[in-house]
Amino acid sequence: MRIESGPTGERKVRTTLMLLMVAVFAVWFAYDGLVGYPAKNAREYRDQLAPEERETAGVLPILRGVTAESWEALKPSVKSASPTERRALIEKAFGGKPSYENKEALFYFGPAYQVKFTVRDGNPVDPMIGAAPTTSATSIATQKYIAVGLAVLAVYLLRFVMKVRNTRLVLDEAGLVYNGRGPIPWAAMKRLDSTRFNDKGWVDLYYDEGGAERALRLDEYHLALFDDIIDEICARKGFENPLPVGEPPAQTEKA
């Protein structure tokens, strides 16, 4: 007699679907945070330009240094500097030349913030306006944080799915081995607690190990050959079998 059981098909499917669902959402949120939301802001920046400018502007550079915080810190220095000194200060603080410029204005576009300077004789002058686009830096950061959290969960679920798929129980003349636990000799098996079987679907096999009583849970949702395993243990040890007894086939009357 030898029974070797892997996981149930239902458990493999459910855990795999859960992993795929979490992974898809992780990619979704990562795309929004890294690509989708910044691209939405970039379109909003472009829409500020005149129609003829949009056609010739090309790709508008996004400067990472352009944020609400960096502009608030820079503003006093810019306002106190002379018009001819301002542009160098701005480009140093924002990390590059203007994202776009024309005769009337300089535009500095960040991932979630923009600053527009009025130009006179090629130099930035008042008014100097900083503004956030529709999609805020907080919204973009939130998408990234959620993506990271889901990615961590996906890694955990991947390991869990592999563990589920590697589920193995072997029952033979030497006893029982379950996922590396055992062997539990037949002589060491003392009783089978099935009080939670009807509502939970599991039984606890109690056995002796070095003079101490241990318990091993056997779950019908986890083991594909659960019924065969329980039948064999109960038959061999004389334990009460918690599994329902199948009704005999109906007898047909002979003519």
Interval 214-224: pLDDT, tens: 999 999 999 99
**Tokens standing for residue 126:** 């008042």
Rounded to whole angstroms, how far apart are CA atoms 61 and 63?
6
**Tokens standing for residue 216:** 């091993």
Q: What is the bridge-based pairing of β-strands 114-120 and 169-172?
A: unpaired
Residue 249 confidence (pLDDT) above 70: no
CATH 3.30.160 is right for the domain spanning 168-237: no
The answer to pTM > 0.85 is no
CATH 2.30.29 residue spans of the chain: 168-237
Residue 243 confidence (pLDDT) above 60: yes
Rounded to whole angstroms, how far apart are CA atoms 12 and 165?
7
Interval 31-68: pLDDT, tens: 999 999 999 999 999 999 999 898 888 889 999 999 99
Rounded to whole angstroms, how far apart are CA atoms 255 and 251?
12
Q: Per DSSP, what are the bridge partners of residue 7? A: 223
Rounded to whole angstroms, how far apart are CA atoms 88 and 77?
11
Starting at the edge strand found earlier in the chain, the sheet holding 3-5 runs 3-5, 169-172, 175-178, 181-184
Rounded to whole angstroms, how far apart are CA atoms 157 and 10?
16
pLDDT band at 1 (very low <50, low <70, confident <90, very high): confident
Rounded to whole angstroms, how far apart are CA atoms 102 and 53?
9
